[in-house]
Amino acid sequence: MSTLFKDRPVWAERPSLPARAAKSTTLAAIAVVIVFPLYVVILTSLSPAAAVNSAGGLVLVPQGISFQAYADLFGGGVVTRAVLVSLGVTAVGTLVSLVATVLAAYGLSQPGSLWHRPLLFAVLLTFLFAPGMIPLYLLVSDLGMIDSYWSLILPTAVNAFNLVVMRAFFMNLPQEIGDSARVDGASEWTILTRLVLPMSKGVTAVVGLFYAVGYWNAFFNAILYINDNAKWPLQLVLRQYVQQGQQLSSSSVIGNAVQGTASAPNLAIQMAIVVVALVPVTFVYPLVQKHFTKGVIIGAVKG
Amino acid sequence: MTERTATTSKTPPPSPAPRRRGGRGRPPVVPDHRGGRPSVRSGPSLPARLRRDWQLLLMTLPAIGLLAVFHYTPTLGNIIAFQEYNPWDGVLGSPWVGLAQFERLFTDPRFWSAVGNTLTIAAVQLVFFFPIPIALAILLDSVLSPRMRLVLQSIVYMPHFFSWVLVVTLFQQILGGAGLFSQMLRQNGHAPLEIMTDPDAFLFVVTSQMIWKDAGWGTIIFLAALAAVNQNLYESAAVDGAGRWRRMWHITLPGLRPVIILLLILKLGDILNVGFEQFYLQRDAFGSNVSEVLDTFIYHQTLVTGNFSAGAVAGLVKGVVGLILILLANKLAHKMGEHGIYRRA
Largest CA distance in chain B: 87
Say yes or no: A206 contacts chain B, CB-CB below 8 A: no
Distance CA A186, CA B229 (A): 43
Measure the N-to-C terminal CA separation of chain B; round to a whole number of Å: 4
Statement to judge: residues A165 and A252 lie in one domain:
yes
Statement to judge: residues A182 and A275 lie in one domain:
yes
Statement to judge: residues A75 and A49 lie in one domain:
no
pLDDT digits (tens, 9 = 90+) for B312-329: 999 999 999 999 998 888
Nearest in space to B87 (alpha carbons), one of A139, A55, A205: A139
Enumerate residues 14 to 53 of chain A having a beta carbon within 8 A of any beta carbon in chain B: 15, 23, 26-27, 30-31, 33-38, 40-41
3-class secondary-structure state, position A173: coil
Q: Which DSSP state fits A61?
A: S
Contact A234, A82 (CB under 8 A): yes
Distance CA A215, CA A89 (A): 7
The larger pLDDT score, comparing residue A215 to residue A248, is at: A215
Statement to judge: residues A248 and A147 lie in one domain:
yes
**Cβ separation of B162 and A278 shorter than 8 Å?**
yes
Statement to judge: residues A64 and A195 lie in one domain:
no
**Cβ separation of B22 and A182 shorter than 8 Å?**
yes
pLDDT of residue B26: 38
Statement to judge: residues A55 and A142 lie in one domain:
no
Single out the residue in A68, A91, A120 at which a domain terminates. A68
pLDDT of residue A301: 46
User: Region A37-64: what's the mean pLDDT?
Assistant: 89
* Closest residue on chain A to B33 (Cα): A112
3-class secondary-structure state, position A129: coil
Distance CA A159, CA A200 (A): 18
ipTM: 0.88
User: Region A150-171: what's the mean pLDDT?
Assistant: 93
Say yes or no: A237 contacts chain B, CB-CB below 8 A: no
- Split at pLDDT 50, 70, 90, the class of B15 is very low
- What CATH number does the domain located at B100-335 have? 1.10.3720.10
Say yes or no: B194 contacts chain A, CB-CB below 8 A: no
Average pLDDT, chain A: 85
Distance CA B62, CA A56 (A): 54
**Cβ separation of B216 and A300 shorter than 8 Å?**
no
Structural domain range at position A92: 71-302
Say yes or no: A292 contacts chain B, CB-CB below 8 A: yes
Most confident of A70-84, B208-222, B249-263, B292-306: B208-222
Option in B3, B71, B80 nearest A303 (CB) = B3
Residues from chain B that touch A112, judged by Cβ atoms under 8 A, are: 19, 21, 29, 32-34, 43
Single out the residue in A68, A98, A123 at which a domain terminates. A68
Enumerate residues 66 to 85 of chain A having a beta carbon within 8 A of any beta carbon in chain B: none
pLDDT digits (tens, 9 = 90+) for B270-305: 889 898 999 999 998 999 899 999 999 999 888 777
Tell which phi-psi region holds residue A246, choosing left (phi > 0), alpha (psi between -120 and 50) or beta: beta
Residue B287 burial (CB < 10 Å; 0-12/13-18/19+)?
middle
pLDDT digits (tens, 9 = 90+) for A283-303: 887 778 777 766 555 544 443
Option in A188, A220, A235 nearest B276 (CB) = A220
pLDDT of residue A52: 87
Option in B21, B157, B170 nearest A41 (CB) = B170
**Cβ separation of A108 and B144 shorter than 8 Å?**
no
Nearest in space to B210 (alpha carbons), one of B282, B115, B140, B285: B282
Statement to judge: residues A12 and A148 lie in one domain:
no
**Cβ separation of A301 and B323 shorter than 8 Å?**
no
Say yes or no: B145 contacts chain A, CB-CB below 8 A: yes
The DSSP bridge partners found for residue B23 are B26
Q: What is the count of structural domains for chain A?
A: 2
Q: Which of B1, B29, B50, B67 best tests the A interface by mutation, with the highest count of A CBs <10 A?
A: B67
pLDDT digits (tens, 9 = 90+) for B119-156: 999 999 999 999 999 999 999 988 878 888 888 998 99
B44/chain A closest Cα distance in angstroms: 10
User: Region A253-280: what's the mean pLDDT?
Assistant: 72
- Between A11-25, B22-36, B235-249, the lowest mean confidence (pLDDT) is in B22-36
- Split at pLDDT 50, 70, 90, the class of B30 is very low
Contact B88, B294 (CB under 8 A): no
Distance CA A247, CA A236 (A): 15
Compute the CA torsion angle B148, B149, B155, B156 (nearest 10 deg).
150
Provide the residue count of chain A: 303
**CATH code at position A237:** 1.10.3720.10
Contact A131, A183 (CB under 8 A): no
pLDDT of residue B105: 93
Distance CA B341, CA B331 (A): 10
Statement to judge: residues A63 and A9 lie in one domain:
yes
Distance CA A32, CA B330 (A): 39
**pLDDT of B339 strictly over 70:** no
Say yes or no: B312 contacts chain A, CB-CB below 8 A: yes
* Strand runs labelled E in A50-176: none
Contact B256, B237 (CB under 8 A): no
Statement to judge: residues A268 and A161 lie in one domain:
yes
* Closest residue on chain A to B170 (Cα): A37
Please report the number of interchain residue pairs, chain A to chain B, with beta-carbon separation below 8 angstroms. Answer: 334
Burial A146-172 (b: 16+ CB within 10 A, else e): eebbbbbbbbbbbbbbbbbbbbbbbbe
Say yes or no: B229 contacts chain A, CB-CB below 8 A: no
Sign of CA dihedral A163, A164, A165, A167: positive
Domain ranges of chain B: 100-335
A7/chain B closest Cα distance in angstroms: 6
Statement to judge: residues A94 and A204 lie in one domain:
yes
